[in-house]
Chains A and B, each alone.
Chain A
């Protein structure tokens, strides 16, 4: 029978240079960290870089880490901070701007059949999420993809719980509006086809 060590115990081992302990932590958290980084950045290479950097920080910041608490929220916090730094670089902002512009254009180019189709709708929703302002997009990803609670998101993003709630609210309203506008447009196009 294998013993399930706590995150704190493993971090202490990592601090002492135990690379097997690092491997164990990696096995536990790699998917969440990678998935979150990928959902924010949309870039596999960057998501991998963020994953490496986040685990490297377990070693460098092991002293300041509270070993009685699980590592998950702390790692999410690192991931989101690293993703923010990544997107704050001027060059990437330009790329993001172009991507968002393209995604907005793509929304207009979609055919009614594609919207009605289940996969097409998912793609449409995904693009609408991508078009959200970054602070709103991050809370949406953490809430809906990673199932984090409002208080956990507040810790991860470093803002009060009220701010998380309002970001979630405005993001949902914006998505609701985008979907409504699109579906009204589709419905009128369909009605026009039948007349």
Chain B
């Protein structure tokens, strides 16, 4: 059996080691969940979109989105018409 004195000396000589090991054991193998990076990317993307210049936002609203919608509608309509014909 380890005597009391030996036990104390062992503890104090190794106090740094005890602290280090106890802390490392407590978080050993701890990794963030796999979806975390995706969440961060989504949040950064949202921030980037929110901080676009006002002109860019207006351009998108007034020109880009309606234009894409019109072109898509045109091709859908043409495709349908050709198929019917």
Identify the A interface with B (CB < 8 A).
Answer: 14, 17, 19, 22-23, 26, 30-31, 34-35, 38-39, 44, 47-48, 51-52, 55-56, 59-60, 116, 121-123, 125-126, 129, 140-141, 144-145, 172, 175-176, 179-180, 183-184, 187, 191
Select one of A17, A48, A125, A187 contacting B19, CB under 8 A: A125
Q: Contact between B15 and A59 (Cβ–Cβ < 8 Å)?
A: no
Is B4 part of the contact surface with A, judged by Cβ < 8 Å?
Answer: yes
Chain B residues contacting A191 (CB-CB under 8 Å) are 4
Distance in angstroms from B38 CB to nearest chain A CB is: 10
Complex contact B41–A23 (CB within 8 A): yes
Question: Among B27, B32, B47, which residue has its beta carbon within 8 angstroms of that of A145?
Answer: B27
Stretch at the interface among B6-14, B53-61, B67-75, B77-85: B6-14
A140 to B16, CA, bound (A): 10
- By a CB distance below 8 angstroms, the chain A residues around B33 are 48
- Docked pose: A26 CA to B39 CA in angstroms: 12
- Find residues 18-43 in chain B having any chain A CB closer than 8 Å to their own CB: 18-27, 30-33, 36-37, 39-41, 43
Top 6 A-B pairs ranked by shortest CB distance? A125-B22, A187-B4, A145-B23, A126-B22, A122-B22, A34-B32
Whole-angstrom CA separation of A82 from B15 in the bound complex: 29
Q: Is the interface of A mostly helix, strand, loop or mixed?
A: helix
Q: Give min CB distance, B60 to chain A, whole Å.
A: 16
Given A116-B2, A122-B25, do A175 and B19 touch, yes or no (CB 8 Å)? Answer: yes
Contacts of B44 in A (CB 8 A): 14, 17, 19, 22, 55-56, 59
Could you tell me the distance between the alpha carbons of A26 and B31 in the complex, rounded to whole angstroms? 12
Q: Smallest CB–CB gap between A114 and chain B, Å?
A: 14
Residue of A nearest to B40 (CB): A55
On chain A, the residues within 8 Å of B21 by CB distance are 122, 125
**Are B30 and A144 in contact, with the CB atoms below 8 A?**
no
Cα separation A60 to B11 with both chains bound (whole Å): 46
Measured CA separation A111–B54 after assembly (Å): 67
The answer to whether A17 and B48 touch (CB under 8 A), given A38-B27, A48-B36, A176-B12, is yes
